Amino acid sequence: MPRLAKNDLISIDDLEIEEIERIFVAADEFSHSLERGDTPRLAEGLVMATLFYEPSTRTRLSFESAMHRLGGAVISAAEMQSSSAAKGESLADTVRVVSAYADMVVLRHPCEGAAKVASAYATVPVINAGDGSREHPTQTLCDLYVLRKRKGRLKGLTVALCGDLRYGRTVHSLMYALARFGANILAAPTRAMEVPEHVLARLAVQRGYSYATVSMNELDSLAPDLDALYLTPNGPHQMALFTGEMAQGAARQVAPVLDALYVTRAQRERHGDEAGRVHGYLHVDARTMRGARTQQAVIMHPLPRTDELAYELDSDPRAIYFEQAAAGVPVRMALIARLVQHKAEVVKPKSPDSVLLLRLKATPQPVCENHNCITRSESAYLPPRFRLAAWSGRTGRSGLALQCDFCEQETTVEYIGNTRSRRYYRFDENLGSYARRWLEEGTLAVFRDPKQAEESGYEPYRRGPQREVMNAAEMARAVESLAEQLIDDLTDLTAVTIVGVLSQGATLALRVRDCIERRSGLRIPCAAVNVLGEDGVLLDMDGGSNVAVDSRTIVLLDDVINSGWTVQRAMAALWKMGRPAAVKLAVLIDRGHRMLPIRPNYAGKNLPTATSERVRVYLGDHAAQGKRKAPERAVVFSMVESLSAAEQQETG
């Protein structure tokens, strides 16, 4: 049997409009042949593997039914969580193995970007049946197929999407497709479930869509006390799309008349900690559908429904959600036929945009901020990959906005450095041209915060001479003072574990422990926490494999607290390991202020500094700069806020 060409379907944008049209024509033919009971045996001898890491009824069964109807065979791992994935097998290994058993893979996975990873490792075509909250392209084909049948066209229609537009993957694929067909989109989310920034950016940048906020007036049951976004193709006809009130110069634009209402359920399984906070979710019923703006609208839903769509609407002739589900078989038959019939020609997935793919040779590599990104769970073999999305954070944060090449979400880095000068800077917009040059030269390094930069061997760009505030002897005294305070304050030293923040805090932890041992004869367990990795990790410094956290008094130790960010991550790492009885914070130097409201319980020395100043402690290996062995010390210097300011100073 010849191998099928690798026509992966990861995003709805992998299909040209003409291909979608051809799929619809084929789906019509398959509908008829299904009615007649004479479906062609196009897939005879072929095997489809359905790998579902998440529950599914419609999608998996309609794919399998479509394959059977075409004479093909199906092997299924419907509950991947109970197969080898449960034993810790990577997605890459799984799809490589399955490529030897099947001619095509249909994959559903809870992580954003999983389908893209699978397509890179599978040697057979991969069809995305939903990857986290990212996309669900084959559902979109069913949606568009039925919508167009009912309305006769897609161009110029106004489709309202409501409910969970943040975590719902069907709506993301649907928005991308509607934009390509020239439809208008009214995004009417439930509060806190707004369309993600990167989705809006993609519609605006690639499809030229412009958007305006509109008031929901009589449609307010769709997006309770919230405005909606009205997205329209750019063009001369745009103004005509707004309703009469707007044309008459009303201050607020009002929601347009709808051709379709696409209702979605709250994707509670993706809400994580926010799950309990879902309230005021929409409820669409006969009353909603009586208004002037909804009278002509067909009612759509990808199903399953929970309580957002009333059963009383099932008999309403405008309800087409069961037709969407039924279209699953002929539409997916058409997709399989497309794979079978295009044996020779390999359709390359289109690169979605022309933005620069970052080549970051420097370590540390940035980590995708989306905890549900596939690069987080499959980090053993999957290095994060970013595109430069913008020269400043789009979500109000200043910094370099990096877009993950797998999940598409943005991560903002606030500090950048140059691998040649080994200096780092806080990013500001004036730095754009430097960052671009370094990026092109391959000398750009990016850091989450000064600590990460300094631990990686970078020095800040600084102004003026540094002032030594502590010498080696004074630092040793501060360590003694910390040990003394701990002995005095902590009544049961046998229940204490000292956890130092790597690397300086860990060096200090060992020193404090030694002091305590000298004074009290008691040797306290010592651990280190690495906060620079993806997720904080706790390491036993006494060679054991496990750090006991439960019911212990943890003394968390670092050299200086600058932002408080490190402490936050260290606490999160501790909490992952167990439930301590108490956590006390100790620092060598308390500089008197920090960005987060975190106060140390013990300080070796109080050293009030200005916010613009930075305190830097040089200990052990860190004391030796370059080849010259320098003594241990603590210094204070002013940070130059930006490189442009620094350059002005140098030249001025």
In the complex, the smallest distance separating the C-beta of residue 343 from ligand NCD, rounded to whole angstroms, is 28
29, amino acid identity: E
Please identify the residue of the shown chain whose CB is closest to the bound ligand NCD.
302
Least distance CB 298 / ligand NCD (angstroms)? 17
Strand partners, 309: 284
Looking only at residues 9 through 68 of this chain, which bind ligand NCD when binding is defined by CB under 6 A? Answer: 58-59
Answer yes or no whether residue 140 interacts with ligand NCD by CB under 6 A. no
Residue 9 CA to residue 537 CA, distance in Å, equals 37
The 3-state DSSP class for residue 590 equals strand
Count of residues in contact with ligand NCD, rule CB under 6 A: 11
CB 470 within 8 A of CB 616: no
Least distance between ligand NCD and beta carbon 30 (Å)? 19
C-alpha closest to that of 201 among 224, 175, 178? 175
Q: C-beta of 127: minimal distance to ligand NCD in Å?
A: 13
Extract the tokens encoding 111: 């992580």
| Shortest separation between residue 58's beta carbon and ligand NCD, angstroms | 5
Task: Fill in the per-residue mask, 509 to 538: x = in contact with ligand NCD (CB under 6 A), - = not in contact.
Answer: ------------------------------
Q: Which of 302, 417, 450, 536 binds ligand NCD (CB under 6 A)?
A: 302
Among 61, 73, 303, 539, binds ligand NCD (CB under 6 A): 303
Assess contact for 444 and 419: CB atoms under 8 A: yes
Nearer to ligand NCD, 112 or 449 (CB): 112
- Distance in Å, CB of 130 to ligand NCD, minimum: 5
Report H helices in 315-445. Answer: 321-326, 328-341, 374-377, 432-441
Please, what is the minimum distance in Å from the beta carbon of residue 263 to ligand NCD? 10
- Comparing CB distances to ligand NCD, the nearer of 106 and 498 is 106
Instruction: Provide the strand spans (E) within 170-227.
Output: 184-189, 209-214
Smallest CA-to-CA distance from 263 within 218, 226, 217, 318 is with: 318
> Closest CB to ligand NCD among 139 and 412?
139
Report the residue number, 54 or 632, with the smaller CB distance to ligand NCD. 54
Which residues, other chains included, contact 149 with Cβ-Cβ below 8 Å and sequence gap of 6+? 323
Nearer to ligand NCD, 11 or 264 (CB): 264
498 and 513 Cβ atoms separated by less than 8 Å:
yes
Distance, CA of 532 to CA of 554 (rounded, Å) = 20
Q: Which is nearer to ligand NCD, 139 or 566 (CB)?
A: 139
- Give yes or no for residue 110 binding ligand NCD (CB under 6 A): no
Per CB under 6 A, does 130 bind ligand NCD? yes
Question: Smallest distance from the beta carbon of 136 to ligand NCD, in angstroms?
Answer: 5
The nearer residue to ligand NCD, 110 or 256, going by C-beta atoms, is 110
334 and 30 Cβ atoms separated by less than 8 Å: yes
Q: How far is the CB of 260 from ligand NCD (least distance, A)?
A: 16
Instruction: Pick the closer one to ligand NCD by CB: 262 or 427.
Output: 262
What's the closest the beta carbon of residue 109 comes to ligand NCD, in angstroms?
Answer: 11
What 177-182 contacts at long range (C-beta under 8 Å, 24+ apart), as own/partner pairs, is: 177/12, 177/20, 177/140, 177/144, 178/144, 178/154, 179/203, 179/207, 179/209, 179/231, 179/233, 180/13, 180/17, 180/207, 181/17, 181/144, 181/154, 181/155, 182/154, 182/155, 182/156, 182/233
Place of tokens 């301590």: 580
Q: Which is nearer to ligand NCD, 50 or 59 (CB)?
A: 59
3-state secondary structure of 327: coil
Task: Figure out which of the listed residues 139, 190, 370, 566 binds ligand NCD, where binding follows CB under 6 A.
Answer: 139
Residue 614 has which token pair? Answer: 């930075």
Cα first-last separation, the chain: 74
Q: Which is nearer to ligand NCD, 130 or 399 (CB)?
A: 130
Residue 136 or 591 having the CB closest to ligand NCD:
136
Question: How near is the Cβ of 504 to ligand NCD at its closest, in Å?
Answer: 46
What is the per-residue binding string for ligand NCD in 198-237, x denoting contact by CB under 6 A?
Answer: ----------------------------------------
**Residue 137 touches ligand NCD, criterion: CB under 6 A:** no
CB of 278 to ligand NCD, least distance (A): 14
What is the rounded distance in angstroms from the CA atom of residue 174 to the CA atom of residue 183? 11
What pairs with residue 430 in β-bridges? none
Does residue number 265 form part of the binding site for ligand NCD (CB under 6 A)? Answer: yes
Interface residue with ligand NCD among 128, 140, 170, 562 (CB under 6 A) is 170
User: How near is the Cβ of 146 to ligand NCD at its closest, in Å?
Assistant: 13
* Cβ proximity to ligand NCD, 171 vs 529, nearer residue: 171
Cβ proximity to ligand NCD: between 265 and 616 the closer is 265
Are 497 and 525 a contacting pair, CB within 8 Å? Answer: yes
Beta bridge partners of 230: 186, 212
State in angstroms the smallest separation of the CB of 93 from ligand NCD: 25
Shortest distance (Å) from residue 303 CB to ligand NCD: 5
Q: Which of 116, 136, 622, 633 binds ligand NCD (CB under 6 A)?
A: 136
Dist. CA 122–CA 462, nearest whole Å = 50
CB 527 within 8 A of CB 538: yes
- The DSSP string of 286-308 is TTGGGSTTTTT-EEE--S---SS
From candidates 69, 109, 151, 169, binder to ligand NCD by CB under 6 A? 169
Rg (CA), the chain: 29
- Choose between 264 and 497: whose C-beta lies nearer to ligand NCD: 264
CA–CA separation, 441 vs 496, rounded Å? Answer: 50
Reduced to 3 states (helix: H, G, I; strand: E, B; else coil), residue 637 is: strand
Whose Cβ is closer to ligand NCD: residue 170's or residue 419's?
170
Would you list the DSSP string of 68-91?
HHTT-EEEEETTGGGTGGGGT--H
Distance CA 497, CA 580 (A): 10
Nearest approach, Cβ of residue 328 and ligand NCD (Å) = 8
Among residues 165 and 607, whose Cβ is nearest to ligand NCD? 165
DSSP 112-174: BTHHHHHHHH-SS-EEEEEETTTB-HHHHHHHHHHHHHHHS--TT-EEEEEE-TTT-HHHHHH
- Give the interface with ligand NCD as residue ranges (CB under 6 A): 58-59, 130, 136, 139, 169-170, 264-265, 302-303
